[in-house]
Structure formats: C-alpha cells, structure tokens
Amino acid sequence: MALTQDLPISNSMYKLLNLIIDARQQFPKAFRYEFGTELMMLAVHCCEYIRYANTDMNLEHRADYLMKFLCEFDALKLLLRVCEERHLTSLTQTAEICLLAESIGKQSTGWYKKTVADLQRQKANGSQQVAKPES
C-alpha cells in the first residue's frame, strides 16, 4: 500500500480541488456560496474516499469506498458541467478541470475494476479451499 499522497489519483484529485477553490472565488455572488461550496465539498469527499480506499486492506470495504467515490465524482462532474455551460469558469480553467476529471475518471474506474476482480478471485479461492475435503 502506497501513501495516499503518493498515488497519482490522489494528486490529481488534490489538484482538481485546488482548481475548484480558485474558480469558486470568481463565481458570481449568486453561485459562489451554495453552489461553490457544494462543489468544494464534493471534491473533499472524493479525496476522503480515495484515502479510505487506499488504507483499507479489506477488498469489500475498498470496493465500497471506490463505488462511493465514483458516485460522488459523478455528482461533481455534473456540477462542473453546469459551471461550464453557465460560463462560471474561464476557458483555461474549464480545460484544466476537464483534463483532470478525465484522468481521475480513468484511474478510479481502473482501480475499482481491479479491486472487484481481486475480490472475486479471493472469494473463488476461498470457496475452493472450503470445498476441499480433509484427508
């Protein structure tokens, strides 16, 4: 298990959080507080789920944390899309955010799929061991 801050997905999510914080300061007042805070909190929750998934050695728990991450990340991407469509972020910010979001999405999906495959393999090996008669 690597330190969470050494994981590429963690670094990318941290960069995305900082981009959201920077962009929020430039939102119109009507969007800055509730909408901007919701964006920040979703990004913080995503960072937390990455940390939880990385530190939990139980594959079932890890898969659960990664699924929670994917759900929160989908909500975050939806709000980021609203930002883009309402021109709440600059073109440069939007481009950076989109690139990071795409990278994070690929990494998280791969991590989740690998975890589920490892979990299935672990369960299959466990059921084979239980099924063997003792001599």
Averaged pLDDT, groups of 10, the chain, 135 residues long: 81 97 94 95 98 95 98 97 94 95 97 96 75 44
Can you give the pLDDT at residue 5? Answer: 74
Can you give the pLDDT at residue 3? Answer: 75
Q: Give 92-111 pLDDT, tens digit per residue.
A: 999 999 999 999 999 999 99
For residues 68 and 50, give the distance between their C-alpha atoms in angstroms, rounded to a whole number.
10
What domains lie within the chain, and their CATH numbers?
Answer: 6-121 (1.20.1440.60)
Can you give the pLDDT at residue 129? Answer: 54
Can you give the pLDDT at residue 130? Answer: 43
Can you give the pLDDT at residue 128? Answer: 59
For residues 4 and 55, give the distance between their C-alpha atoms in angstroms, rounded to a whole number.
8
